[in-house]
């Protein structure tokens, strides 16, 4: 059953990519860009730049190492490192593989910062979704009560959405780039969790 769902998810992403390649999402992208960049001010620009930094490899990699250390030393859950590190590494490689396939240029309407390379799907959005989803999944059962779990879930959701919106605000991605990044990452981490659970049961 899950294989069928995965095939449908991949087909859905390809459908989104086809809409992008045929310029069927121009109006959608333009309306979101106008709404987001229309609120530009110095405070939001500083926040967006900070979020862009948080979503970059220079912050994600150290954060990944800290979480890995907590899992290994404090919680003594060593096999979870396979899911965390494998999931993040796979997400990065998947993004690197997809961008040259679709070769979508970044927006040139109003850029606050400069970025190189193709824009579809958004690498920051993929990294944010993969990282916060996997961290939430791995830490969920170790939290003492529902309040802490709700706080973790809310924090992760806010960070994922905020980092995605910051890429639109800064003018380096179309909204459809961000949605594609979320979509691919959702498929990827779901597959990773499924395979991890099967592997963990087999080891028992």
151-204 tens-digit pLDDT? 999 999 999 999 999 999 999 999 999 999 999 999 899 889 888 888 777 766
Q: Smallest Cα–Cα separation from 186: which of 130, 131, 134?
A: 130
Number of structural domains (the chain) is 1
- Token look-up 């400069």 returns 114
| Neighbouring C-beta atoms of residue 149, cutoff 10 Å | 16
> What whole-number distance in Å separates Cα of residue 47 and Cα of residue 70?
28
User: Are 71 and 81 contacting, i.e. CB atoms less than 8 angstroms apart?
Assistant: yes
Instruction: Tell me how far apart the alpha carbons of residues 84 and 65 are, in angstroms, rounded to a whole number.
Output: 10
The model's pLDDT over 21-45, given as tens digits with 9 standing for 90+, comes to 888 888 999 999 999 998 889 999 9
The span from the CA of 170 to the CA of 55, in Å, is 13
Closest Cα to residue 124, out of 152, 95, 101, 153?
Answer: 95
Angle, helix 146-169 to helix 26-37, in steps of 10 degrees: 100
Please give the DSSP secondary-structure letter assigned to residue 73: I
pTM for this prediction: 0.89
73, pLDDT greater than 80: no
Between 62 and 79, name the one with better pLDDT.
Answer: 62
In angstroms, the CA 123 to CA 177 distance is 9
Q: What is the DSSP letter of 64?
A: H
Residue range(s) defining the domain that contains residue 19: 2-203
């Amino acid at each position: 059953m899950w294989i069928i769902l995965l095939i449908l998810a991949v087909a859905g992403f390809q459908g989104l990519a086809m809409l992008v390649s045929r310029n069927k999402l121009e109006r959608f992208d333009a309306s979101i860009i106008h709404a987001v960049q229309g609120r530009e001010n110095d405070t939001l620009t500083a926040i967006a730049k900070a979020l862009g930094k948080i979503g970059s490899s220079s912050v994600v990699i150290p954060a990944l190492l800290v979480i890995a250390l907590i899992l290994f030393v404090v919680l003594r859950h060593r096999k979870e490192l396979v899911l965390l590190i494998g999931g993040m590494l796979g997400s990065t490689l998947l993004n690197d593989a997809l961008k040259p396939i679709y070769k979508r240029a970044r927006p040139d309407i109003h850029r606050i910062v400069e970025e190189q390379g193709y824009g579809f799907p958004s690498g920051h959005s993929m990294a944010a979704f993969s990282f916060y989803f996997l961290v939430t999944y791995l830490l969920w059962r170790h939290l003492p009560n529902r309040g802490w779990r709700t706080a973790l879930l809310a924090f992760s959701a806010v960070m994922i959405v905020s980092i995605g919106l910051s890429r639109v605000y800064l003018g380096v991605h179309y909204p459809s780039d961000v949605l594609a990044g979320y979509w691919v990452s959702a498929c990827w981490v779901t597959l990773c969790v499924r395979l991890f659970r099967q592997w963990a049961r087999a080891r028992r």
